Amino acid sequence: MDPDVEDDDDWTKYADTGYESTYDPWADMVEAEESEEEDFEDEFENYEDDQVSIREIPRCPAPAGIEHAIRIGTCNHCLGRIAGVRIAGDPLDSVGERVRTQALERDPDLGVNQDVDCCPFCEDLFLEMDLISNRISNAIDGIECSKIQLGVHFAKDQVAAEEALRASIAATGSRPLKATLSDAIQSAVSNKVPGTSWVKERPEVMILFDTMTLGVNVDIRALFLYGRYRKLERGIPQTRWPCRACRGRDGGCESCNGTGQQYPNSIQSLVCETLVELTEAKSDAFHGMGREDIDVRCIGNGRPFVAELKSPIRRTLNVEKLMEQINKGAKDKIEVTGLRYSNRAEVARIKETKAEKSYTIRFTCEHKLDETEITKRIQSLSGQVLEQQTPQRVAHRRADKVRKRKVISIDNILVEENEIEFDVRCESGTYVKELVHSDEGRTNPSVAAVLEADCEVIWLDVKDIHAD
C-alpha cells in the first residue's frame, strides 16, 4: 500500500493533535445535496493535473505532515508554529529545529525541494528578524517612550494564502502568522531597547511595520497639558494670527517684520513656544474654553485651556518649573496656573463645556438721567433673555442668525458722569459688547435701548469663567 494513501485515510486520528479543542475537522460539515466526491471535484476543478491533490497532502502534526512541511521549505519558526508540540516558553525556532531534527532521524534523506525559494508560510520574514528589529530600534532611537504599540501590515493575499496553507494540512489550530510575527518583533526589539512596554491601548508611540517593504513608520502620540491662563494685557489674541498681507507664508513680509504673524504675541505662542522647545515637538495646537476678543483681558481664575504638543521627543516634564518658566517669559502679559498632564478627551470636554461667564464692562453714554434712574434701568436687564443677531463685527465668519442668551445677573453698577461700569453674569455665548451698544438694534433688549442713548464700550474684562 502506498504510505501516503495510508496516512491520508487515517488523518482524522491526529489532525487536531497538539491543538486540543481548537480544531474539529468535522465542525464545518453540512448535509450535502451531492456526493462528497462531486463537491471536491467542483471546488478544485481548476487544478492542473501535475499538481498535488489537496487530498494527498499529509496533515500536521503527523510525522508525514511534518515531512511534507519540511519538503516545501517551511522555516524553523513556522515549523514550530504548526507542529503542535510546543512547550510553554519554548522559542518557536527552537521548537522547529527540534521537530526538524526528529524528522531527519526518521528519514535521513529528507530534504527541501529544489524549486523552493522561501518559506511558504512567512516568506522568510522570521529570518529577517535582526534587520527588522534594527530598523525599528533605530527609528525610535532618541524618542522618550515607555509604552509602544506595534502594528504589522500584511498584504491581504499573503494572509489568505497562509491561512489556506495551514488549513490544507489541518493546522488551523496553530497561531496565525501575523500574531506570531508581532510577538517575535516585540521580543527582538525589547532586547535592543530595554524598558520597552508593549501595549494595545493609549501608547506613547505607534510603530507600523510593513512586511512587503520592510518599512517602518513611527507615529509619536501628542502630549497634552491642561491649565488656566490669565490675560493681563490687551491686544493679545488667543491663538496665532497669520499676517493679513502675506498670510503667514515662509519668510513673512515687511508688514509683519518677517514673522508671518499679524501680532507679535499670542496666548498660544507665549505658552507653547516654551513647551515645544523643552519637548522637541514638531508643532503645537492650542485649545481654549472659548476665547475673548483681542482687546479684552481675562482675569480672575483665568480661562481653561489644553496645549497639544505634536510628535514630542521628550515627555517627562516638571510642570511646576515649567509653569514658572512660562510665567517668567510672559511677565505682565499672561499668567498660567494649574498646569498638569492631560489627554485628548479633555480637549473635547473643554470645547463642549458651556460655562457661564462673569464680565466687568465700562462704557460712555451721553445720557440725561440721574444715577438712580440709570441704575434702575440697567438692573432691569437682569434675568432677561436677549435676542442677538450675529454681530456685524463677526458676520464674515459666523452664520447670520438670531441667538437667545440669558442675562443671569447684573451687579455693582457704577456711574461716573458720562462713564458707566457694571458687572454682568450671563449665559455662555453672549455677546457682551452688543448687550451694551445694541449693534444698531441687532441685540434686543440692550443697555442702549433702556437708557435711550448711544453707548460706546471703553473696555471689557472677563472676570470669571464658571467651569471646573
CATH number assigned to the domain comprising residue 249: 3.30.70.2510
Q: CA 318, CA 314: separation in Å to the nearest integer?
A: 12
- 285 and 382 part of one domain: no
What lies within 8 Å, CB to CB, of 407 at 6+ separation is: 381, 382, 383, 384, 385, 386, 424, 425, 426, 427, 430, 435
CA–CA distance, 376 with 370 (Å, rounded to integer): 10
Model confidence pLDDT, tens digit, residues 317-354: 999 999 999 999 999 999 999 999 999 999 999 999 99
Q: In whole angstroms, how far apart are CA 270 and each of 182, 190, 237, 329, 337? A: 43, 39, 11, 8, 14
Burial annotation 111-147 (CB, 10 A radius, 16+ → b, else e) = eeeeeeeebbbbbebbeebeebbebbbebbeebebee
260 shares its domain with 148: no
Helices (H) and strands (E) in the chain, counts: 14, 14
Looking at 352, 371, 399, the residue that finishes a domain is: 352
Per-chain mean pLDDT for the chain: 86
Tell me: the pLDDT tens digits for 137-172?
999 999 999 899 999 999 999 999 999 988 888 888
Which of 330, 352, 374 corresponds to the end of one domain? 352
* Shared domain check, 10 and 83: yes
Which pLDDT band holds residue 57 (cuts at 50, 70, 90)? low
Over 70: is that where the pLDDT of 11 sits? no
Chosen domain end from 352, 373, 398: 352
Range of the domain at 280: 223-352
Q: Label residue 168 exposed, middle or buried (CB < 10 Å: 0-12, 13-18, 19+).
A: middle
Shared domain check, 310 and 422? no
How buried is 64 (Cβ within 10 angstroms: 0-12 exposed, 13-18 middle, 19+ buried)?
buried
Note whether 113 and 36 are same-domain residues: yes
Q: Examine the domain organization and report whether 89 and 175 are in the same domain.
A: yes
Q: Is there a single domain that holds both residue 366 and residue 424?
A: yes
Q: For residue 394, give the CATH number of its domain.
A: 3.30.70.3190
Q: Write the DSSP symbol of residue 64.
A: H
Do 312 and 243 have their domain in common?
yes
Q: Residue 232: what pLDDT?
A: 97
- The residue type of 79 is L
pTM for the full predicted model:
0.78
Whether residues 143 and 160 fall in one domain: yes
Task: Report which DSSP code applies to 392.
Answer: G
Residue 146 and residue 25 in one domain: yes
Q: Are residues 250 and 182 in the same domain?
A: no
93 is known as an active-site residue: no
Rg (CA), the chain: 36
The one catalytic residue in 4, 124, 183, 293 is: 293
Tally the domains of the chain: 3
What is d(CA 346, CA 362) in angstroms, rounded to the nearest whole number? 34
Q: Are residues 406 and 437 in the same domain?
A: yes
Count the Cβ atoms, other than its own, within 10 Å of residue 280.
Answer: 14
Strand partners, 402: 389
pLDDT band for position 136 (cuts 50, 70, 90) = very high
Instruction: Determine the straight-line distance between the first and last CA of the chain, rounded to whole angstroms.
Output: 83
